[in-house]
Amino acid sequence: MTLSTSLLREFGRTIVPLLAITAISSPLISYAQQKYKIDVSPPQQSRYVKEHIIDAGDAPGHQLRIVEIEKTYTSNHPVVKGVKITDVRQWAFTNYTNGIGPVIFYETWSDGRGNTFFVEGTSETQSQITATGSRRGTSSGSGRITGGTGKFATIQGILAGHTEFDSDPKNGYNRNNTNIEYWFRN
């Protein structure tokens, strides 16, 4: 047996088992993080801040839409890591044909004091045009928490929810029921 063969055998006896233990335990370490679940009720106030609609022109009823929505909690605040969330701002892109279609959304959840987390997700919507010309319907979807600031600097998580809405600029609403599971990176 040569010196190189002897070194390879020793390497196999010591390093390879260590690598295997590390490979097996790494996922366990990440799953050992404390996870928290909250159910978020609809906000007390919501309004459509901006809305832009463009007819796609390729099929009857096909519209692209960009919207900004503001949601405010004055009571029954969602509480994340002991922090009361006061407002949620959402920006969304919709791709409806006759009121049915996918939505891509981005959200900022904030306590108004520098503690903020960010969400990106998708949903599927069904809606109808009302007598005032607004869209009224429901949307169901899911998303992921992509990061945060302040006390939420290391937050991660997922959420799923169902929303009822009316896009009327004066009397519209956007009421969501959301389930959030979150954790913090070490």
Question: Are 64 and 95 in contact, with CB atoms under 8 Å apart?
Answer: yes
Block residue for tokens 């969330």:
85
Query: Where are the chain's structural domains?
Result: 1-32, 36-184
Nearest CA to 125 out of 170, 40, 67 is that of: 67
CA-CA distance, 66 to 115, in Å (whole number)? 26
Nearest CA to 132 out of 94, 171, 93 is that of: 171
Pairing type for strands 36-40 and 62-72 reads unpaired
Tens digit of each residue's pLDDT (9 = 90 or more) over 67-89: 999 999 999 999 999 999 999 99
Q: Which residue has the higher pLDDT, 52 or 31?
A: 52
User: Which CATH architecture fits 36-184?
Assistant: Beta Barrel (2.40)
What is the arithmetic mean of pLDDT over 23-31? Answer: 52
- 3-state SS class at 165: strand
Q: Which residues is 142 bridged to in the sheet?
A: 122, 160
What single-letter DSSP state applies at residue 170? T
Tens digit of each residue's pLDDT (9 = 90 or more) over 58-69: 999 999 999 999
pLDDT at 123 over 60: yes
